[in-house]
Amino acid sequence: MNELPANWGLAPVLFHLAGIAVPSYGVFVGAGIVAGLLVFLWLSRDERNVGEGTVYIAFAALLGGALGAKLLEAAFNAPSAVGAGWGALLAGRTVIGGLVGGSVGIVVVKRALGIRERRGNILAPAVALGLAVGRIGCLLRGCCHGEPTSLPWGIDFGDGVPRHPTQIYESIFASSYLAFRFFEEFVRAGARVLFGLTVYQYAALGGLLYFALKDRLLAPAARRGEA
């Protein structure tokens, strides 16, 4: 977003603590991580859902998700960030990369530990809740917004133009994120790169293809179970 009004966002600063502005984005992203972990721990209380290496799998999902979210966004930013320094190159993150990166991390750890049981029944709800909560931070900061709309639920982020609250859309459809994100991009602000689609739509399609084929792409010959 370029040349945005100074008052852009519903509440970019959540509150001040000892004279320091506390950003709403960081608070809700952190809250999303905590909420996801709490759901994970709550589901893990049932001994039928807990197996050897579950904690390692959760850590792999967090680490792989963090790396994937940054690396994919850095790849998207590279053409426009040339000459602008590392800060511009490493700015932002994308959920699509986080989902794929987290999945790869889980598969790698499960292979290393020889785990065959599926753990998706524990991890999937935690990831969906974490995403839903984190997108509230995007809504308050005004990032990841949609195109202008005349629909009654359009939100003015500071320039007098009602826009699709795509952050809310994503919170609602967090459990089917990749498929939803592909169609949401048609009403989300962003540059079209090829055939009228955005880079995130191509990334979403790639993510869907990955999850459809990941057993063949990443599973060993013994076809151990995946999360």
> Does a structural domain hold residue 138?
yes
Is position 224 within any domain? Answer: no
The answer to whether residue 14 is domain-embedded is: no
Q: Is residue 104 part of a domain?
A: yes
Count of the separate structural domains present in the chain: 1
In a domain, 36, yes or no: yes
Asked, for residue 213, whether it belongs to a domain, the answer is yes
195 domain-assigned:
yes
Is the pTM value of this prediction over 0.95?
no
Q: Quick check: 4 and 158 in contact, CB under 8 A?
A: yes
Cα separation, 115 vs 99, in Å, equals 20
158, 5 in Cβ contact below 8 A?
yes
Is 2 a member of any domain? no
The range of the structural domain enclosing residue 212 comes to 25-218
CA torsion, ordered 44, 47, 51, 55, to nearest 10 deg: 30
**How confident is the prediction along the chain (227 residues), in pLDDT tens digits per residue?**
456 777 899 999 988 988 899 999 989 988 998 998 888 878 877 655 555 677 788 888 888 888 888 787 777 766 554 454 545 444 566 788 888 888 888 888 888 888 777 766 777 888 889 889 989 999 999 988 999 999 999 999 998 999 999 999 999 888 888 899 999 999 988 888 889 898 889 999 998 998 888 766 555 544 444 44
